[in-house]
A and B are shown apart, each in its own frame.
Chain A
């Protein structure tokens, strides 16, 4: 296990991140380091600033204050594509998959493989299906590339969404409530998918309300409250009870 603060190179480093929407202060002075292969749980009640933080890291909007460093270099994201270019991928809660397309098509959405036919570039269905199958294999998922996403279970959909992040060799994957809307058995699958990512040296930020999941896979837990970071502890140094009291504000900070 990588301990949080001694790891040499952080993949993501936030310094004093703040965000205001008009008069509303959504985030204030957030510092955060995430190392390669580390799984960080990001917890907090609704409105605590988790989503705002994730959206800033994902490039949905820029922070009002502070600095983001990725792989040691300062970065400025204007659009989500900028964050993706450096290697940040987000797996959204509602999964952001196109139901009418196949698993393979979704994995490659926006990054389709093409084959040249004279002056025209056509979709290379075969290559995409083969590569998607490989990715599902790496994730030990039984998802079939040619199946339509609308016919898949929640766990399989997660596998498709996570395979997307593997395709781009993302260095940081942020997962927004991946276990919120799926059955207990599929939660196991998703947690094992997170382990696969960790094995491959990918840093994972897990945004979740589910305490057991966070304690099952995370190396470290970060608690947000009222737009500020209230705790940042190795999972072994804390307990679900402490985290709960930090989230609710019963305990101010740790």
Chain B
């Protein structure tokens, strides 16, 4: 599994080097920090989306969740003058609750994730627009939540806090996914839910938890985005953001069929997406081509990955043939074959962080 991440990292480095060579402004400190901020903003909820995708599901509702939670959050702080710790808590709980409802519908009522979260996308957006009568909500002149604002959009020694949040959350979720029993179950459920159930795993709980985590991270992202933009226009805030998350996860090695992916991959995928957006600006490519560039790179990336995997499989099959050909059962044979086999079979999901 590390091979995929390494490839992605190299791709990221090569693209950055080329862009930097064409226009050194790309590698300027200001631009790098700006990118780090965006990577942090878009990475946090991509992590949640990644977990959901590993279960074999999908969460399309994230962008609309940002809008709904965002207008509620600002309203709590400005109109109702709720102290910011409570407002923060309520928004996080709101995200967890929305994720919980979706998880319930998907696991208990056996609805398809695509449908449930698509309806979530429509409902939350509609609710946000109705709640605000389609008017933009923002902070007044008072400093309703300057402390929280400083935490969410400030920086430590120049490094944007959003990026630091992303790293902290990635480490926590990395341990959860790659080192804990829950993570192991998540992979098993994503690949073969029936097998997991027969193994005594409460698959519904495992899957629903992924949606709850995704919802909770959406709550965190909402707060970060609100303080990034300082206002929420309910009809456009967070539009299409779920697609950024899906793209980052897929680019990072998550399979939409479930059971594959890693936290490091998702973070690198997010970074690559933001670098692509940035280089469109920096290289003076017409901004309208933004999405087209992203789409092309994802398409090529996934295609290349599939081809490489197929080649690796053929190699492994050949190695397997070579292994069984001399029909000897001495352990020495096994030992000598083992490193070869290990090199040919690098993808052991869940075993590496």
Binding site for B on A (CB under 8 A): 80-81, 84, 90, 92, 94-102, 105, 109-112, 114, 120-123, 125, 142, 144, 146-148, 151, 164
Q: Out of A95, A98, A125, which one reaches B187, CB within 8 Å?
A: A98
What CA separation (Å) do A41 and B181 show in the bound complex? 37
B338 within 8 A of A: yes
Binding site for A on B (CB under 8 A): 175, 179-181, 183-185, 187-188, 190-192, 194-201, 259-260, 316, 320, 329, 334, 338, 341-342, 345, 347-351
Q: How far is the CB of B70 from chain A (nearest CB, A)?
A: 33
Q: Out of B180, B190, B329, B348, which one reaches A146, CB within 8 Å?
A: B348
Q: How far is the CB of B249 from chain A (nearest CB, A)?
A: 16
The main secondary structure of chain B at its interface with chain A is helix
Q: Do B199 and A96 touch (CB < 8 A)? A: yes
Q: Do A102 and B198 touch (CB < 8 A)? A: no
Q: Do B200 and A81 touch (CB < 8 A)? A: yes
Q: A101-B348, A105-B350, A123-B179 are in contact. List 16 more A-B contacts (CB 8 A).
A: A92-B198, A94-B194, A98-B195, A98-B196, A98-B259, A99-B259, A101-B187, A101-B350, A105-B188, A109-B195, A110-B201, A120-B175, A125-B351, A142-B329, A142-B334, A147-B341
Residues of A within 8 A of B345 (CB): 147-148, 151
Residues of B within 8 A of A99 (CB): 191-192, 259
Q: Do A100 and B259 touch (CB < 8 A)? A: yes
Q: Do B191 and A109 touch (CB < 8 A)? A: no
What CA separation (Å) do A101 and B329 show in the bound complex? 25
Residues of B within 8 A of A96 (CB): 192, 194-195, 198-199
Q: Out of A109, A122, A125, A146, which one reaches B188, CB within 8 Å?
A: A109
Q: Do B201 and A109 touch (CB < 8 A)? A: yes
What CA separation (Å) do A118 and B296 show in the bound complex? 46
Q: Out of B181, B200, B349, which one reaches A100, CB within 8 Å?
A: B349
Q: Out of B188, B201, B334, which one reaches A101, CB within 8 Å?
A: B188
What CA separation (Å) do A123 and B179 show in the bound complex? 6
Q: Out of B200, B342, B347, B348, which one reaches A111, CB within 8 Å?
A: B200
Residues of A within 8 A of B190 (CB): 100
16 A-B Cβ contacts within 8 A? A90-B198, A96-B198, A98-B191, A99-B259, A100-B191, A101-B191, A105-B184, A105-B350, A109-B185, A109-B188, A109-B199, A110-B185, A110-B200, A110-B201, A122-B180, A146-B342
Minimum CB distance partner of B323 in chain A: A142
User: How many contacts between A and B, using CB within 8 angstroms?
Assistant: 94
Residues of A within 8 A of B316 (CB): 151
Most chain A CB neighbours (cut-off 10 Å) among B180, B181, B190, B194: B181
Q: Do B179 and A84 touch (CB < 8 A)? A: no
Q: Out of B195, B338, B347, which one reaches A148, CB within 8 Å?
A: B347
Residues of B within 8 A of A101 (CB): 184, 187-188, 191, 348-350
Q: Do A100 and B195 touch (CB < 8 A)? A: no
Q: Do A97 and B192 touch (CB < 8 A)? A: yes
Q: Do A100 and B199 touch (CB < 8 A)? A: no
Q: Out of B180, B187, B341, B347, which one reaches A120, CB within 8 Å?
A: B180
Residues of B within 8 A of A80 (CB): 197-198, 200
What CA separation (Å) do A92 and B195 show in the bound complex? 9
What CA separation (Å) do A100 and B185 show in the bound complex? 11
Q: Do B351 and A102 touch (CB < 8 A)? A: yes
Residues of B within 8 A of A90 (CB): 198
What CA separation (Å) do A146 and B351 show in the bound complex? 9
Q: How far is the CB of B198 from chain A (nearest CB, A)?
A: 5
Residues of B within 8 A of A148 (CB): 345, 347-348
Residues of B within 8 A of A121 (CB): 180-181
What CA separation (Å) do A121 and B180 show in the bound complex? 7
Q: Do B259 and A122 touch (CB < 8 A)? A: no
Minimum CB distance partner of B198 in chain A: A96
Most chain B CB neighbours (cut-off 10 Å) among A96, A100, A112, A151: A100
Q: How far is the CB of A123 from chain B (nearest CB, A)?
A: 6
Q: Do B191 and A112 touch (CB < 8 A)? A: no
Q: What 6 pairs across the A-B complex have the smallest Cβ distances?
A: A110-B199, A96-B195, A110-B200, A98-B188, A100-B259, A109-B199
What CA separation (Å) do A247 and B320 show in the bound complex? 40
